[in-house]
Amino acid sequence: MTTQVQPPVARKIPTSRTLHGVTLTDDYAWLRDSENPEVIAYLEAENAYAEAVTAPLADLREQLYQEMLSHIQQTDESVPYRDRGWWHWTRTEEGRQYAIHLRRRDTPDHPEASQPEIVLDGNALAVGHPFFAIGDMDISDSGQLLAWTVDHTGFRQYSLRLRNLSTSADLDFTRPRVGSVCWAADSQTLFFTVEDEIQKRQHQLWRFSLATGEETLVFEEPDERYNLSLSRTRDGRYLLLHIGSHITSELRFLAADQPLDEWQIILPRVEDVEYDVDHREGYWLIRSNDRGRDCRLFARHVTGSDAETELLPHRPGIMLESVEVFASFLVACERENGLPHLRIHRFAGSGSTDLSQLAFAGEIAFPDPTYSAYPAANAEFDATHFRYAYQSLTAPASVYDYSLATGVSTLLKQQPVPGGFDKSLYTSERIWATAADGTRVPISLVYRRDRFQPGQNPLHVYGYGSYGYALPIGFSANRLSLLDRGLVMAWAHIRGGGDLGETWHDAGKMLVKENTFTDFNTCVRHLLATGHGDPARVAIEGGSAGGLLMGAVVNLDPALFRVVVSHVPFVDVMNTMLDPALPLTVPEYEEWGDPNQPEYFHTMLGYSPYDNLKPGSYPAMLVKTSLHDSQVMYWEPAKYVARLRTLKTDSHPLLFHINMTAGHGGASGRYDYLREIAFDYAFLLQELSVWPAR
C-alpha cells in the first residue's frame, strides 16, 4: 500500500511527573481535551489520512461488504420465549438497522386475541440519532408498564424511560445516568440504580412510586471499587441488589411483594470472596469462591441461619461459572479443561435442598472440539425444559430445548447462513502451546480444508486475556470472507482470561500480567511451528484490554507480526491508572494493581505500550477508537499513534480511525457495523498480500 499523502503531525507539549523515582514524560497529554478545536481537527485529519491511504481499497471494501451482507438473513426473528403469560421475541427487517422487540399473549384457546404487539422499535427510536443502544428493560408483573434505558451517544450513559404498553405512549418520566431497573410485584414500584457524575460508577439505589410520584434514595455505596446492579430471582419472589467489585461481592434482598421493607444482607462482604444467589422454596442457593477459586454451591435458609447444606463442592480445575435454578432441577454451567459444560441435577421433591437429594441427571453433549454453550432465555421457574444456545467455529448459532423427561435436545432454530455456506468445507481444531514455564495454553482455530497448505496460509490470531473473561468461541458469517480467501484463524486462550477458571485469571493479572503477553507470542510461534501459518504473513487483532495485548506483544517482538488491528486499545496504562478521576480506574486497581504502590508501578511501567515505544521497525497497524468511548478514552490510542509516528523507522502504514459518533463498541447500526468490518478486512487482506478475489 503506497500513497503520497502525509500523515498528520501532532504537536508536542511536554508534561512530566515523577513517582517512585521515575519521571514520566508525556508529549501528547493535550489530546485529552476534546473541547479543544485543535484536538478535534487533529482527529479529523487522522480520519482523512486513513481514508486517503485506503482509497485504493474502496472496491475491495464494497466487495467484502456485499459478501458479508449476502450471508445474513436480513429479515429474521429470534426464537420466542415465554414469561408470565406472554411470548417475547425480536425481529429484524431488511434495510433497517435495529431490532424490533415484540410480544404476544399466550392464549392458545383464543389465537385471535394474541396478535403481536411492538414493545420497542429500535428503528423508530433511533431516528435523528447517529448512535442508539437499549440498555436494561423490565416489564411489570401486570404486563402493562415497561421500564427501559437508552443511550444516544455511545458513552454508556443511559436514560430511564417508562412506557405504557397498552397505548405505546411514554410516560412523562425520565431520569439520567440509570444502569439497571426492576419492578416490584405491585407493578407500581420501580427500583433503579444511578451512576455518579464523574467515575460512571453505579453507586445509588432509588425507589420510585408510580402511585405517589415519590422518589426515595434507598442505598448508596461509598466504596469506589463497587458497582450496583439489580435483578429478580427466577421464581419472582425476591429482588436482588448486587454490590460488587472485581474481587468481592455482597447481595441484598427484598421480598418483591413488600417494596417498602428494608433490604436485607444475604451474606456480608468479605474481601476477596465473591458470590451470587438464586432462590428456591425458602432457600438461597449460593455459588461462592469462599472455599476455592473455582467455586462451590451451597444452600442457606432465607431466615439467615448459619446452617448450610453443600450441594456441589469445590472441585479444583472445574470452574462453576454459574447456576441456573428451577423448581425441579438446576443446571451447573461449568468450565473444565477450557471448555464449557452444562450439567443437569434434579431435586428430589418440593422443599428438598439436601445434597443427598440432589441427583446428577446427565450432561448435554456437544460435537465440536471447541465451542460455546450457555443458557438462553429461561424466564420461567416451573420449567420442564432447559433452553440453551450452542455454536462453534463451523456451526452457526443454534437454540435448543433440553427435555428433563427424555434427556433429548430439540433444535428450535439454527441461524440461517444464506449465500452458499457449506459447513463441510471448514474444519476446526483445538491445540495446545507450551509456555516457557511449562504451562500449556489452549488455542482454537478454524480454516477451510481445500485452501489449507501447511506453512503457507496467512494466519490471523485473536486475543484478549484479562478480567477472567473466557474468550468465546462462536460462529461468524462475516468471517467467511477471510476463511474463503485462505486465512487460518486462531484464538489464543491466554492467561489473564477465564478460559481455565479463576486460577487462569490469577496467573495473568497484577504482578504477573506479563504472562498474558508472553503466552500470546508463544501461541503465535506454536501455530507457525505446526504449519498453521506463513511466518511472513501473521495478522493479530484485539480490542480494549485486547488492545493492550496488541501493543504489549508488538513491543516484545515486532518482527513476529505483519499486520495489527487494534480496537479501542488500552495502551496508555500509566497515565490512566494514575488518574483516579477517570471512569474505571479505582475499581481496576484489583485487575492491574495500584501504581501508587511501587511494585505495581514498576510492573505496569514494564509493559505499558505507550511508555515502551522505541525507535525501530513496526508492523502495519490499523488503530481504531470512538470519540465517546467511556471505557478506554479516545486519547489513549490518539497519543499512542502520535508518538509511534515519531519513532517508527519503517514504511508500513500506520492508520488511525476514529468513529466520531460512537462509543466502546463502535457503530450501533448493524449495516454501519458491517461497513466497519469491511474496512478492517480490506486493510488486513492488502497487508497480507491476499488476492482480493475469492
Catalytic residue set:
544, 629, 664
Q: What's the grid cell of residue 267? A: 451474606
Residue 230 pairs with which residues in a beta bridge? 241
Question: Which triple of cell numbers denotes residue 8?
Answer: 498528520
Rounded to whole angstroms, the Cα distance separating 590 from 134 reads 29
Query: What is the number of residues in the chain?
Result: 694
Apex CA 174: angle with CA 168 and CA 176, to 5°?
A: 135
Residues 6+ apart with CB under 8 A from 141: 84, 183, 185, 186, 187, 236
Q: Mind giving me the DSSP string for 97-114?
A: SS-EEEEEE--TT-GGG-
Q: What cell does 513 get?
A: 500480567
Distances 258 to 186, 252, 253 between C-alpha atoms, Å:
9, 14, 11
β-strands 308-312, 318-325 pairing: unpaired
Identity of the residue numbered 598: P
DSSP state of 67: H
* Strand 86-92 relative to strand 81-83, pairing: antiparallel
Query: What is the distance, to the nearest Å, from the Cα of residue 471 to the centroid of all Cα atoms in its chain?
Result: 9
Find out whether 299 and 283 touch, Cβ atoms under 8 Å.
Answer: yes
- Beta-carbon contacts of residue 317 (< 8 Å; ≥ 6 apart): 294, 336, 337, 500, 501
Other C-beta atoms lying within 10 Å of the C-beta of residue 50: 23
E-strand ranges in 152-290 read 159-164, 169-175, 178-183, 189-195, 202-209, 215-220, 227-232, 238-244, 249-255, 264-267, 275-280, 283-288
Is residue 436 helix, strand or coil? coil
- CB-count exposure of residue 131 (10 Å: 0-12, 13-18, 19+): buried
Alpha carbon distances (Å) from 567 to 549, 622, 633: 11, 8, 12
Q: Taking a C-beta distance cutoff of 8 angstroms, is the pair 593, 603 a contact? A: yes
Which grid cell sits at 402? 433440553
Torsion, CA 662, CA 663, CA 664, CA 666, rounded to 10? -10
Report d(CA 631, CA 389) in Å as an integer: 29
| Coil vs helix vs strand at 559 | helix
Distance of CA 184 to the CA centre of its chain: 29
* Beta carbons of 210 and 145 less than 8 angstroms apart: yes
**DSSP-derived pairing of the beta strands 440-448 and 426-434:** antiparallel
Residue 451's SS3 state is helix
Which residue type occupies 77? E
> What are φ and ψ of residue 232, in 5° steps?
-135, 140
